[in-house]
């Protein structure tokens, strides 16, 4: 039965007898020669670790090149005997896979850890930038609304003052009209009284 594995570079199937290596980030497989690793090196260096371009880019790297970790900075916490035994089994009659043991999956080399730190730092910077821009836009909108409402409130207060002034003026005018009416009424009453007195005098004179 042919292998179902496909090289993520050349997109060709990887034969079971063909040496291959898995990316530590995404677990995709690659031909050794497609990623610049010789079969001889794979046989000698059992601590080869590979990170593809996509994973380098996702971790905040330049994304222009992949990373081959040749074991100079391998995490010492990993059981080296398990790594060696697994690689030996792969290279000597196994399926030819380099660096895909279970311990390889959980191991983080300094190079990969640095990429992860760069990714976290990049995400934090992006979040800080987003939050700063969001807060700035929020403050600008809040200040604009406050200025608008403040201007409207000031205008309403001014209108209320003008209205109160108009009401006071109307009250004064009404008071003046009432006073004028009372004075005119008094003058009219006095005039009527004078006329009545004059009539009385004339009536007595005729008698």
For the residues 189-194, what does the mean pLDDT come to? 88
Rounded Cα distance, 29 and 13, in Å: 10
Rounded Cα distance, 156 and 198, in Å: 62
Global model pTM greater than 0.85? no
Rounded Cα distance, 37 and 91, in Å: 14
**Nearest-5° angle of CA 96, CA 115, CA 81?**
40
Those residues with Cβ within 8 angstroms of residue 46's Cβ, 6 or more apart along the chain or in another chain: 71, 83, 84, 87, 88, 91, 98
pLDDT of 33 reads 84
Residues of the chain above pLDDT 90, percent: 15
Give the model confidence (pLDDT) of 33-87 as tens digits: 888 888 888 788 877 788 888 888 887 766 567 777 776 543 333 344 433 433 4
For residue 144, pLDDT over 80 is answered with yes
Rounded Cα distance, 51 and 203, in Å: 137
pLDDT of 124 reads 87
Chain mean pLDDT for the chain = 75
For residue 199, pLDDT over 70 is answered with yes
């Amino acid at each position: 039965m042919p292998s179902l594995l496909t090289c993520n570079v050349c997109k060709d199937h990887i034969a079971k007898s063909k040496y291959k290596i898995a990316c530590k980030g995404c677990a995709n497989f690659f031909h050794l020669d497609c990623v610049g690793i010789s079969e001889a090196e794979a046989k000698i260096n059992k601590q080869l670790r590979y990170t593809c371009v996509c994973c380098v880019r996702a971790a905040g790297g330049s994304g222009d090149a992949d990373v081959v970790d040749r074991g100079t900075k391998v995490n010492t916490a990993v059981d080296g005997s398990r790594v060696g035994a697994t690689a030996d089994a792969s290279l000597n009659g196994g399926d030819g896979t380099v660096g895909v043991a279970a311990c390889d999956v959980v191991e983080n080399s300094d190079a990969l850890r640095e990429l992860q730190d760069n990714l976290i730092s990049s995400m934090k910077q992006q979040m800080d930038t987003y939050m700063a821009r969001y807060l700035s836009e929020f403050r600008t909108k809040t200040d604009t609304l406050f200025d608008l409402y403040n201007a409207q409130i000031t205008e309403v207060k001014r209108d209320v003052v003008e209205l109160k002034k108009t009401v006071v003026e109307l009250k004064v005018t009404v008071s003046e009209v009432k006073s004028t009416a009372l004075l005119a009424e008094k003058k009219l009453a006095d005039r009527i009284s004078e006329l009545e007195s004059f009539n009385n005098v004339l009536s007595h004179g005729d008698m």
